Chains A and B, each alone.
Chain A
Amino acid sequence: MILEVQNLHLSFKGVKALAGVGFSVAEGEFFAVIGPNGAGKTTLLNVLSGVYEPEKGEVVFLGESLRGKSPQARARMGLGRTFQGLEIFRGMSVLENVKLGAELALPGYPMALPRAEREWRLRAWAEEVLDYLHLSPFRHAPAGMLPYGLQKRVEVARALAGRPKLLLLDEPMAGLALEEKQDLARFLLDAREEWGVTLLWVEHDLRAVLELSDRVLVLSYGEVLYYGPPEGVKKDPKVVEAYLGQG
């Protein structure tokens, strides 16, 4: 297991955001977290990536407890992340964005290599990632000027450039057109195949989730409603009531 999550509790001003969430993710898995708005999905990602410290419970990544570890330390351990909405560096070029991500992929980040070699390796690897995600033609464009779908892809490219072992994706498909969703799905599946990235994604697009994911965790009001293979999601009465019934 690359990630083990045990009994997470976290509340904000008395409101329970996470109430005893536990699950585990196997290496190479495509793992989905779904649930209605306010279910605690983004909070869960924030706990995993170190933005919040849980009140109770444990997160074990690669066999090591993450308690007390800063977001940066977790990133250096191989925990990548993209964000709901967009968190790319809009003022920088696409290449600069991806190169910043690529620094994590260098051995002995940040300064162990001589300057010229570091530059060369960053550039070479960043170009490879850009090529992989079909972003090469836009490498010198200011990231903020690209259409929304491409900006989303830049964010994924920046995260993948860090060669994360586990990549957390927060609604990567939100706002994308069908074709863009298909492209992104293919990129993610290829990245898993090629670079051995394990994927944990929070997503609203239920069809995409059920089609792509190996296993699914359904949250509602900070509690686990369902945890298992995608085929079972629609058959689970609790899920149907809390989640599918609404939509």
Chain B
Amino acid sequence: MADLLPYLIGGLANGALYGLLALGFVLVFRATSVVNFAIGEFLLVGAYLTYTFALLLPLPLAILAALPLAFLFGVLVERGFVRPLLGRNVVAVIMATVGLAAALDGGVQLLWGPDLKYLPGSLPDLGFEAGGVYVSSRAVWNLLLALPLGLGLLWLLRKSRYGILVRAISEREVAALALGIPTARILAGVWGLSALLATLAGALLAVASGVGYNLVFFGLKVFPVAILGGLDAVGGALVAGFLLGVLEALSQRYLEAYLPGFTEALPFVVVLLVLLVRPYGLFGERQIERV
């Protein structure tokens, strides 16, 4: 059992980042019905932004500096790619995000080069040992940043005026317009928040293992996480993130010896199994569609 704990801690550390990323992804989906296929690239861009700032600033400041820029990036994506397609079929917007993903993939490599880069400097070491189990600094940082941010955002969406406006728009956009709610500005903010969350996840990944194109593959995990939690369940995204992180860790510990490589496929297998029983995800709302 004792040898399992480090795996679990590692799983929670990864899960925190899955949760952050999925939270932003689901937020955009709920508010705008757009599936953002460029979410992995949001993370990638965020990681490279952090890297660039880290060349000039101490790492904690670099991360702090990257976040507002990431928010702006999200807002610009909404202005440039999403809003012009407003009122069209939602598939058109989704395809635009696919195109955006490809453009960002290329753009990032063009700007920063294809090789793996390591951040200069590191975050203060918060690792500690408790009862013979070592908790890595990475795990502490991930949980310390992701949990309050994730929970704070959930609270904001539930209780604050901004959250109520987002819910109003996501539920009945025409009614929101008729009430004078500045829908465009609020939806741009949602994209900004989503990019900010992805950037924090990207920055923490970059701190742990460097910046390279392969970060996109981490971003791909957002799809099983979000579907597992329920595409319209913002809180579910956070929970599902941790759940998949831990399941991956368990698979790493117990299955990898017999089924090499299975851990990579695990999230998708879990999603398939869960969807058989709960087609709207663990926390998703059952939609009654009238035809």
> Which residues of A approach B to under 8 Å, CB–CB?
49-51, 70-73, 75-76, 80-81, 83, 87-92, 96, 100-101, 103-104, 109-110, 158-159, 162
Query: What distance in Å separates the Cβ of A112 from its nearest Cβ neighbour in chain B?
Result: 14
- Is A162 within 8 A of B180, CB to CB? yes
30 contacts between A and B (CB under 8 A): A49-B178, A50-B177, A51-B174, A51-B177, A70-B177, A72-B180, A72-B182, A75-B177, A76-B180, A87-B175, A88-B172, A88-B175, A89-B168, A90-B171, A91-B171, A92-B164, A92-B167, A92-B171, A100-B164, A100-B165, A100-B179, A100-B181, A103-B179, A104-B179, A104-B180, A109-B180, A158-B179, A159-B178, A162-B179, A162-B180
Beyond contacts A72-B177, A96-B164: 12 other A-B pairs, Cβ-Cβ < 8 A, are A75-B177, A75-B178, A81-B178, A83-B175, A89-B167, A89-B168, A89-B172, A91-B167, A91-B171, A103-B179, A109-B180, A159-B178
Q: How far does the alpha carbon of A191 sit from the alpha carbon of B183 in the complex, in Å?
A: 28
Q: How far does the alpha carbon of A56 sit from the alpha carbon of B284 in the complex, in Å?
A: 46
- Is A89 within 8 A of B175, CB to CB? yes
Q: How far does the alpha carbon of A50 sit from the alpha carbon of B178 in the complex, in Å?
A: 9
- Is A92 within 8 A of B168, CB to CB? yes
Q: Which range holds the interface residue count of chain B? A: 10 to 19
- Report which of B164, B172, B180, B183 forms a contact with A87, defined as CB distance below 8 A: B172
B179 neighbours in A (Cβ, 8 Å) = 75, 100-101, 103-104, 158, 162
A100 neighbours in B (Cβ, 8 Å) = 164-165, 168, 179, 181
Q: How far does the alpha carbon of A116 sit from the alpha carbon of B77 in the complex, in Å?
A: 34
Within 8 A of A (CB), among B7-25: none
Within 8 A of A (CB), among B238-277: none
Pairs A-B, 10 closest by C-beta atoms:
A75-B180, A87-B175, A71-B177, A81-B178, A72-B180, A76-B180, A87-B172, A89-B171, A104-B180, A89-B168
A88 neighbours in B (Cβ, 8 Å) = 172, 175
Closest to B182 in A: A72
| Contacts known (A72-B183, A87-B172, A88-B172); A80 close to B167, Cβ less than 8 A | no
Query: What distance in Å separates the Cβ of A79 from its nearest Cβ neighbour in chain B?
Result: 8
